[in-house]
Structure 1
């Protein structure tokens, strides 16, 4: 196996882990990193690189499972006897379903028509203004724990997550900021975003590998494993940092970062430095 390709896979894994759970769009960052690293060049291919980008999300989600292991374990153990545990599990399922349905219905059309530098840059910048607006609002949150959410709350957050199908939006950004606008406090919105990511990203990773089964071989296994491991490590560090950060800070810095990154997307597209076409 090409050592340089493994190094590139490690860098891609780090980018995935550091950006997946921040409201800054991991997809946009992976496209930029992939282009700058020439990650889809032989011996890899664009089809394998696309499968890799989605598959390594599974490594990042393992970090969330580790950080929230006690809550996940307690919920599973208490399912037969606790109404609260059953409600929480059902809320995660309810929040997950809209992305499944709309993804299957419109996923191909979105990839074919919306994956342009103009759309990516626009959603980066528009998302930044939504974050600034959400943080400026003085409305008192009515939900301070994921255990206080109703199925209706979960469904609304799940519907908001569907906006992340538009490139550059950010799944975590949509669910966290959307949750805050829907009445969750910053901590509850972040927690539910992470829990919602578990079935969403695992499902996307498995589905991506299934679709790419004809182009992948055992020869690519080391590349995928390296990406998964580094995505896991960087995501674990990032999630732990973010949970501490939001205890005393807002998401405003991420909004300004999104504006800067949106300009970078336009600049790299305009100069031809990055190939943003799908």
Structure 2
């Protein structure tokens, strides 16, 4: 992986992390098209820079993270399903990442759902994130687990899950952002440890690998910082339909690229 390729992936991550379009799916496709999708370090890079992008939430919502102990209790409860399912099905998840038709299918299915979600869940009882109770937080955590399937958006799954429990778009989106912080901290720590156990971060490549992770995380952080506010504003005014159309188009493009021979299998 070159510095230029790292920056491209980081920009994609920063732009898509908080949108219901699957940042991981976009990076998998981009890395495959650039011919680096089979590299184990690239797979680690794609996880680590997600944490970089998500840390922008801590900056933008700094006061929320120091508002009350109850805030952290809800996050801990909501992240438990991801920790359990991630540990149980980690190998299967990596296997699914090797088949381009899986994210293509989930892009299309998710797109169809987003076309109608504003009509399905238009009754709001919880206007603000602070009013989410523990059972609702846990249920949103289970919805987030759907994002372990390649092409399913973590933010999309948790936002739609929140809306299905009568949260407003804004409340569901903000809780999704907050939940991403412990989720990606855990995922990043695990992947870094696994990569090290497999022989990474050693020898002549150590300096380059650390440099690429730092550059990618910094770029993803800055781009996400600029993108997240725009997303909230757009979501409140326009809803999810445009994202649904986009997902369907991307899914069809992936299928076309795959069957035309321009997109090979991903190596999990």
**Length-normalised TM-score, structure 1:** 0.89
Partner of 1:34: 31
Tell me the alpha carbon deviations over residues 7-63 of structure 1, each in whole angstroms, 9 at most, x when there is no partner: 1111110011111110000111101211222235xxxx7111111111111210111
Partner of 1:236: 225
Supply the distance in 1 between the matched residues of 2:121 and 2:155 (Cα, whole angstroms).
Answer: 22
Alpha carbons 2:52, 2:221 under 8 Å: kept: yes
Q: Are 2:165 and 1:182 aligned?
A: yes
For residue 16 of structure 1, the aligned residue among 13, 16, 22 is 13
Q: Are 2:132 and 1:149 aligned?
A: yes
Supply the distance in 1 between the matched residues of 2:165 and 2:264 (Cα, whole angstroms).
Answer: 37
Shift in Å, 1:208: 1.0
Q: Are 2:79 and 1:103 aligned?
A: no
Partner of 2:47: 54
Partner of 1:207: 190
Unaligned runs of 5+ in 2: none
RMSD: 1.6
- SS of the counterpart of 1:247? helix
For residue 111 of structure 2, the aligned residue among 113, 128, 142 is 128
Alpha carbons 1:94, 1:155 under 8 Å: kept: yes
Supply the distance in 1 between the matched residues of 2:186 and 2:93 (Cα, whole angstroms).
Answer: 18
- SS of the counterpart of 1:39? coil
For residue 236 of structure 2, the aligned residue among 244, 247, 269 is 247
Partner of 1:81: none
Q: Are 2:255 and 1:266 aligned?
A: yes
Unaligned runs of 5+ in 1: 76-84
For residue 196 of structure 1, the aligned residue among 168, 171, 179 is 179
How many residues get paired? 261
Supply the distance in 1 between the matched residues of 2:182 and 2:261 (Cα, whole angstroms).
Answer: 36
Shift in Å, 1:219: 2.9
Partner of 1:67: 60
Distance change in 2, residues 1:266/1:59 (3 Å): same
Partner of 1:88: 71
Shift in Å, 1:133: 2.3
**Length-normalised TM-score, structure 2:** 0.93
Supply the distance in 2 between the matched residues of 1:219 and 1:117 (Cα, whole angstroms).
Answer: 29
Alpha carbons 2:18, 2:177 under 8 Å: kept: yes
